[in-house]
Amino acid sequence: MLEVKNVTKYYGNFKAVDNLSFSVKEGEIFGLLGVNGAGKTTTFRMIIGLLDVTEGTILLDGKPIDYSVTDKIGFLTEERSLLIKMTVREQAIYYGTLKGMKEKKIIERLEELLAKFGISEYIDKKIKELSKGNQQKIQFIMAIINEPRLLILDEPFSGLDPFNVELFKNEIVELSKKGSIIIFSSHRMEHVELFCKKLVIILKGKTVLEGYLKDIKEKYQKKNIMIKADIKKDELLKIDGVEEVTEKADELEVKISSSKIVDNVFKAVSKKKNVTKFVVEEPSLNEIFVSKVGEAYEK
Ligand code: ATP
């Protein structure tokens, strides 16, 4: 388990992370989310020991993260850090050796991963000769070459096409099933929603929302109702608690402030003709993120 307990980080007088706490169990994929400058990269750097915490503790399987555990960690940084004059093979040997692996094992694992990502032919090519997307794949392969106990992925999908996002996603899920603890950040909420069980949203280093995605969605009172019926937008807008009505193709999307309003909307719709759809939907993580961050900014 990874435990981040009451962690605070100052850069000089500036508080970049403010009393942050969360924990991630093995086999869980955790999302560390926030707008630009929220403190994600700072938090990642503290977790892997690149930066000292000002206050608080960070434990991996009950122990502080130091040299004795660095070979159990994989980190895909936001700023890409490949040694571009090396070939893929040389790079893998370099990273793998740093992680305490034997050369034979490194090459076996490299060949397996290159094949998975459909780029086996690049094994003896220099990194600088590869396309941006393929460099990204190599960087990801380097981060997971040692099947890390703790894997940190800072914006892993940036610059990838949807097909390759899927390949990365499958590999991340597979590592998680094998017992890796995985934390990742992304500004793309649809990616987070796809496979994060648990998350924290931070703003100016402070927690705005934390917990299991399922619970967060259930607790979040605002819902959307999708309606197909002979009813006018204005009639729906008159109902107390209806915040917004949007016409989408041949249906209406009604945003309501609380699930208590569903009954009132249903009553109004049921009096109408041609009702073929009335579906109450959970809000997307993107809606929750925008709303929670907006509320926190207003405070
Ligand atoms: P982004 O999504 O833009 O990458 P982030 O959430 O990763 O942002 P951080 O890079 O952790 O944010 O930065 C958090 C805050 O700390 C920002 O206000 C940033 O300007 C500040 N900061 C980061 N590094 C330093 C530093 N070395 N010295 C001083 N301030 C810093």
Q: What is the pLDDT of residues 37-70, one digit of tens each?
A: 899 999 999 999 889 999 999 999 999 988 778 8
What is the rounded average pLDDT of the residues 167-178?
Answer: 92
pLDDT of residue 142: 93
Q: How far is the CA of 218 from the centre of ligand 1 (A)?
A: 32
C-alpha span between 230 and 251 (Å, rounded): 10
Q: Please tell me the total number of residues recorded for the chain in this structure.
A: 299
Instruction: Looking at the CA of residue 187, tell me the nearest atom of ligand 1.
Output: 2
What is the rounded average pLDDT of the residues 70-85?
Answer: 81
Is any atom of ligand 1 closer than 6 Å to the C-beta of 50?
no
pLDDT of residue 230: 94
Q: What is the pLDDT of residues 143-155, one digit of tens each?
A: 999 999 999 999 8
Chain centroid to Cα 15, Å, comes to: 24
| pLDDT at residue 80 greater than cutoff 70 | no
DSSP codes of every residue in the chain? -EEEEEEEEEETTEEEEEEEEEEE-TT-EEEEEESTTSSHHHHHHHHTTSS--SEEEEEETTEE-SGGGGGGEEEE-SS----TTSBHHHHHHHHHHHTT--HHHHHHHHHHHHHHTT-GGGTTSBGGGS-HHHHHHHHHHHHHTT--SEEEEESTTTT--HHHHHHHHHHHHHHHHTT-EEEEE-S-HHHHHHH-SEEEEEETTEEEEEEEHHHHHHH---EEEEEESS--HHHHHTSTTEEEEEEETTEEEEEES-GGGHHHHHHHHHTSS---EEEEEPPPHHHHHHHHHHHHHH-
What letters, b where the CB count within 10 A reaches 16 and e where it falls short, cover 21-51? ebebeeebbbbbbbbeebbbbbbbbbbbbeb
What is the rounded average pLDDT of the residues 95-122?
Answer: 94
Residues 6+ apart with CB under 8 A from 24: 1, 2, 30, 181, 182, 183, 198
Nearest residue (by CA) to ligand 1, atom 9, is 39
Is any atom of ligand 1 closer than 6 Å to the C-beta of 138?
no
Nearest residue (by CA) to ligand 1, atom 29, is 11
C-alpha span between 253 and 228 (Å, rounded): 9
Q: Is the pLDDT higher at 73 or at 219?
A: 73
Q: Is the pLDDT higher at 163 or at 253?
A: 253
pLDDT of residue 189: 85
Range from 7-21, 190-204, 237-251 carrying the lowest mean pLDDT? 190-204
**What's the distance, Cα to Cα, between the start and end of the chain in Å?**
34
Query: For strand 277-281 and strand 223-228, is the pairing parallel, antiparallel, or unpaired?
Result: antiparallel
What is the rounded average pLDDT of the residues 72-96?
Answer: 86
- Residue among 42, 44, 45 to mutate when testing ligand 1 (max atoms within 8 A of CB): 42
Nearest residue (by CA) to ligand 1, atom 22, is 16
pLDDT of residue 299: 65
Which among 267, 261, 230 is positioned nearest to 243, based on CA atoms?
A: 261
C-alpha span between 217 and 260 (Å, rounded): 16
Is any atom of ligand 1 closer than 6 Å to the C-beta of 13?
no
Instruction: Looking at the CA of residue 44, tell me the nearest atom of ligand 1.
Output: 11
Which among 269, 261, 279, 267 is positioned nearest to 230, based on CA atoms?
A: 269
Confidence of residue 296 (pLDDT cuts 50, 70, 90): confident
Q: What mean pLDDT is reported for the chain?
A: 90
Is any atom of ligand 1 closer than 6 Å to the C-beta of 38?
yes
C-alpha span between 256 and 222 (Å, rounded): 6
Q: Is the pLDDT higher at 80 or at 169?
A: 169
Q: What is the pLDDT of residues 223-278, one digit of tens each?
A: 899 999 999 999 999 999 999 999 998 999 999 988 889 999 999 999 999 999 99
Residue 119: what are its φ and ψ, rounded to 5°? -130, 35
Confidence of residue 96 (pLDDT cuts 50, 70, 90): very high
- Counting Cα atoms < 13 Å in the Cβ hemisphere of 34 gives 27
